[in-house]
Structure 1
Amino acid sequence: MLQDLDESRTESDGAAVIRVLSYNIRSMRDDREALARVIRACATDLVCVQEAPRFFRWRKHAAWLAAASDLVVLSGGATAAGPLLLCSLRARVEHTEDVLLPRTPGLHQRGFATAVVRFGKARLGVVSCHLSLSARERDAQARLLLERLEAMDVRHAVAAGDLNERPDGRAFKRLTRQLRDGWAVRPWGGEFTSTPRRPHQRIDAVLTTAGIEVLGCGVPAGLPGVTDADLSAASDHLPVLAALRVPATG
């Protein structure tokens, strides 16, 4: 059994402990009931989804996933070219924005799903991202992600997603020069996110700005309610779950 991970709570000073999940769901082309069971078992406050459905009736699919996971749709989906944000009713939403990134001819359109939310007295910016398969475009998108976080004008922020790159890659390193890599700071659970049947590389991550305390971060294999069968059936990526303590802000 996996060791305990901090549960969501609001502390006496207004700081918030939240659970954030990053998950590439492959457009819900796999076992969506297994997918919902995994997300629900993680008891999350925020889910940063990548490869959400983008075409026919995409809003209906996003709404189904949110409801089946005991969450609500926050932002993103087709309007962000795939990244999607889900949240619990604990979140108070200040602002949402879907951002389309410059597109390289012949490559997929990419984007960010972004929001500013409050938990207790903690104010948090959040971005779900899915970076390019092209190394050159991926590095440019990492720079744009940092610029987007700066433009959100929040003291504390989290960016999570499929980086399509291992930690020794150029774009990953660019991000972690300014952001903290949850797994590297406080490893918990499993490390590798690809592929579910043969995990051998870490290409998905939860990244935070300074001031956020990482209480644990990793693949939740073995968490009560999360089975190997569901993880294998739900998607071609494994999810990353992080528990974070976000300080109270003004």
Structure 2
Amino acid sequence: MPRPARRDHVIRVASYNIRALKDDRAALVEIIRAIAPDVLLLQEVPRHPVSGHRIAGLADEVGLTWFGGKRFRMSTTLMTSLRLDVLEAHHGKLPVRSYDEPRGYGMATVRLPGHRPLVAASLHLSLRGTDRLPEVEALLAAAGTPTPPMVTGGDLNEEPKGKTWRRLASALPEVSADRPTYSASRPHKRIDGIFASAELPGSTPELALPAERLAAATDHLPVVVDLDVSALAD
């Protein structure tokens, strides 16, 4: 049996749809702090033009750093822990139809000290099936060619048998567990996932997250993965 990766070579990545902070904020903060992510990929953050202070406030409450910046009225972003160096971070647009809700990604190049950088990206795909594949292609193109070491995750609005999920998994193998993620109160389908480059294997930590607090925090369950970044060690 292979020896578990040392904590020195592990980063914890979580993806979480927080439903615009409409639910029990105290429960949400409790859950995120219990997860203790190094990278938190967020979907459905407040997206109106003056909502940045609310996201920054959440980052303070959960002990993470938010890079801010222009968000193009999107509801997707990410936060990081002080364990990581953030070398670059930005938000980018995904293709949408006229008059549709803006969609995009939050992307950051991060580095665990003593390791080479990797790209982390949060995404939230369309409810319309025909639009999801172009959105994934746009995200992969934004990461660069060839694709750098990368982890991405979010709310795909699609289950694993869907063609967009399969396309993303063909580029970045899925590392999250085969567990329902929606809804938080009655989990019955998996529409959230985390995907990472082949050199970044993942394992699912066992976390004691109370079901009643998960249901109170938001309508999705968080997805959590410990990534072994030993392959990036200098």
- TM-score normalised by structure 2 residue count: 0.90
- For the 8 Å contact 2:194–2:223, the answer to whether it is kept is yes
Distance between the aligned counterparts of 1:79 and 1:62, measured in 2? 15
Q: CA deviation at 1:82?
A: 1.0
Question: For residues 148-172 of structure 1, what are the alpha-carbon distances to aligned partners after superposition, in whole Å with 9 as ceiling and x for unaligned?
Answer: 2235x66411011000000000111
Distance between the aligned counterparts of 2:232 and 2:58, measured in 1? 30
- Name which of 132, 154, 167 aligns with 2:126: 132
Which region of structure 1 is more displaced relative to structure 2, 208-217 or 65-74?
208-217
Q: CA deviation at 1:112?
A: 0.7
Distance between the aligned counterparts of 1:56 and 1:92, measured in 2? 28
Q: What's the C-alpha RMSD, in Å, of the aligned pairs?
A: 2.1
Distance between the aligned counterparts of 2:6 and 2:147, measured in 1? 21
- Does the residue aligned with 1:98 lie in a helix, a strand or coil? strand
Which residue of 2 is the match for residue 233 of structure 1?
216
Structure 1 position 144 matched with structure 2 position 145: no
- Name which of 175, 180, 190 aligns with 2:173: 180
Q: 1:120 to 1:112 in 2, by over 3 A?
A: same
From the two aligned structures, give the one with the greater strand fraction.
1
Distance between the aligned counterparts of 1:209 and 1:113, measured in 2? 18
- Name which of 193, 196, 214 aligns with 1:208: 196
TM alignment of 1:10-29, pairs within 5 A: 10=8, 16-29=9-22
Q: Which runs of 5+ in 1 are unaligned?
A: 1-5, 11-15
Which residue of 2 is the match for residue 9 of structure 1?
7
Q: CA deviation at 1:142?
A: 1.4
Matched to 1:239, the amino acid is P
Structure 1 position 166 matched with structure 2 position 159: yes
Q: How many residues align?
A: 229
Structure 1 position 65 matched with structure 2 position 53: no
- Does the residue aligned with 1:180 lie in a helix, a strand or coil? coil
Which residue of 2 is the match for residue 3 of structure 1?
none
- Does the residue aligned with 2:63 lie in a helix, a strand or coil? coil
Distance between the aligned counterparts of 1:201 and 1:115, measured in 2? 29
Which region of structure 1 is more displaced relative to structure 2, 123-132 or 174-183?
174-183
Matched to 2:92, the amino acid is V
- Name which of 25, 30, 36 aligns with 1:37: 30
Q: CA deviation at 1:53?
A: 0.7
- Does the residue aligned with 2:204 lie in a helix, a strand or coil? strand
Which region of structure 1 is more displaced relative to structure 2, 142-151 or 34-43?
142-151
- Name which of 151, 156, 164 aligns with 2:149: 156
- Does the residue aligned with 1:231 lie in a helix, a strand or coil? helix
Q: CA deviation at 1:102?
A: 2.2
Matched to 2:218, the amino acid is S
Structure 1 position 94 matched with structure 2 position 106: no
- TM-score normalised by structure 1 residue count: 0.85
Distance between the aligned counterparts of 1:105 and 1:56, measured in 2? 19
Distance between the aligned counterparts of 1:140 and 1:132, measured in 2? 10
Distance between the aligned counterparts of 1:27 and 1:76, measured in 2? 18
Percentage identity across paired residues of the two chains: 35
